[in-house]
Chain A
Amino acid sequence: MALGVTPLGEKIESALSGNRRSLARLLSRIEEGETLELPEVTPWTLGVTGPPGVGKSTLIGRLVEYWIDNGEKVAVLAVDPSSPRSGGALLADRMRMDSTDSGESVFFRSLATRGHPGGVSHLLSPMTDLLCYCGWSRIIIETVGSGQAETRIVAFADRVLMVDGPDRGDIIQAEKAGIIELADIIAVNKSDKPGAKRAADSIRSSLELGNDKNLPEVHLVSAHNSSGIDELVVAIEKCSSPDWRNRLRITERLLSTWDSRLIMSDGLDGVLDDLETGSITLDEALDRLLS
């Protein structure tokens, strides 16, 4: 319901001076596809991924508390899936992070995937730029609960924390998962529950089977009673992504932009209609969409 009377530049100035409403409105504008002209910035970003139900949101709540206590300004972008049928979305990550609803040092925004494959869209990049420009010094991106092949988060986050939990099944599941190779740090959450230490041990031994010398640290933490959180934050602060990641990041960004262009192209409905009736092939459909 944007009133749209304020020019964009003025809105950016207002967001820069600390007006949350302006910042929130600008994020919506970016989500709708608008491009903002901003000076070059280098956002500090952490991607948090992992299977559903392992406690990503609760753990992020603890990280937020830690950073706020240490004088940082923390922004969280939490991505939840849009319904493939209705296009609607239920965005409920906030309810597990109630530490984020008060105080001026935290900004929390829920985002729906809006059909973007890989669970995150290319719009995350301008969003983190805007947040960084407005003084948010720690930016956390929470992905949708990932399966075994969700690697797109590396396109948008400089460091990736993978969260797992106890009783997640055979460790072969973790070895198959592409994301575990991309994690800079792994946290096994729910250390207050039985089986967590065993899960951490088997992830460690699984990692050691490979030839890679720079293995990610595996931390045992409990978002429930805060044990291990301080050590985890210290490790997150000092970790850096390996050089080979750059190529992958660029690849993922390219794929993401490609996906978004397809999904947002005007003729999409017509092309889908023709595909449904079988009057064009998939290759012809692509040619038409990208012409």
Chain B
Amino acid sequence: MRIVVAKPGLDGHDRGAKVIARALRDGGHEVVYTGLRRTPSEIIRIVTDEDVSALGLSTLSGAHDVLIPKICDGLREAGLGDVMVFAGGIIPNRDREFVFEQGVRAIFGPGSRTDEILSFLDACSDRIEKGEPIGVGQSAGWRWE
């Protein structure tokens, strides 16, 4: 899969994002890493130009409740509804349902194992092959929990 791993907003810590990017690479995926402090519109631009199937968002600052909806809406508006979005970082339990409702298919918090993320991506590939919905603009329902 081609995947963008992005750091939206103002938090300046990307060790987690880099660990994920590296693990996905070692799992055979092509990973475009954006670097720190990207705006939602920059991230949508990157997803467009790079023609990726998936977007991983890492946020630790607590702004996930603003940034993730902006990015998911922006993707749908840009006609990128078939792109799968997953999230990671610090997303409190009380916010998980809200984040899933934005179209995010998985949330990987602290303690997640990288092999679990790879299994999730394999499951996504299977669903794509079968034509089952997975994108941020496609019907809700399936999520990785």
Which positions in A face B, CB cutoff 8 Å? 1, 3, 20-21, 24-25, 27-28, 82-83, 85-92, 94-96, 98, 101-102, 107-110, 112
In angstroms, Cα B1 to Cα A39, docked, is 32
In angstroms, Cα B78 to Cα A82, docked, is 29
Residues 11-62 of B at the A interface (beta carbon under 8 Å): 21-22, 24-36, 38, 41-42, 45-46, 48-51, 53
Given contact pairs A1-B135, A25-B51, a sample of 7 additional A-B residue pairs in the complex whose CB atoms are under 8 Å apart: A1-B53, A28-B51, A83-B26, A90-B33, A94-B32, A98-B38, A102-B41
Is B49 in contact with A108, judged by CB distance below 8 angstroms? yes
| Residue of A87, A88, A112 ringed by the most chain B CB atoms within 10 A | A88
- Given contacts A21-B80, A102-B45, A108-B49, are A88 and B25 in contact (CB under 8 A)? yes
* Chain A min CB distance to B121 (Å): 11
What total count of A-B pairs have CB within 8 Å? 83
Q: Please list the 3 inter-chain residue pairs (A to B) with the smallest Cβ-Cβ separation, ordered nearest first.
A: A95-B35, A24-B51, A88-B25
Task: Determine whether B73 belongs to the interface, using a CB cutoff of 8 Å to chain A.
Answer: no
Which positions in B face A, CB cutoff 8 Å? 21-22, 24-36, 38, 41-42, 45-46, 48-51, 53, 78-80, 82-84, 128, 134-135
A78: nearest chain-B partner, CB-CB: B32
Supply 11 A–B pairs (Cβ within 8 Å), ascending by A: A20-B48, A83-B25, A85-B26, A87-B28, A90-B22, A90-B31, A91-B33, A92-B33, A95-B34, A98-B35, A98-B38
B33: nearest chain-A partner, CB-CB: A92
Is A88 in contact with B48, judged by CB distance below 8 angstroms? no
* Chain A min CB distance to B74 (Å): 13
Classify the secondary structure of A's interface with B. Answer: mixed
B48 interface neighbour in A21, A86, A94, A112, Cβ under 8 Å: A21
- Given contacts A1-B82, A24-B49, A88-B26, are A94 and B34 in contact (CB under 8 A)? yes
Is B25 in contact with A86, judged by CB distance below 8 angstroms? yes
- Given contacts A21-B80, A101-B38, A102-B41, are A86 and B28 in contact (CB under 8 A)? yes
A85 contacts across to B, CB distance below 8 A: 26
Is A96 in contact with B29, judged by CB distance below 8 angstroms? no
B46 contacts across to A, CB distance below 8 A: 94, 101, 108
Is A88 in contact with B34, judged by CB distance below 8 angstroms? no
* Chain B min CB distance to A2 (Å): 9
Is B32 in contact with A110, judged by CB distance below 8 angstroms? yes
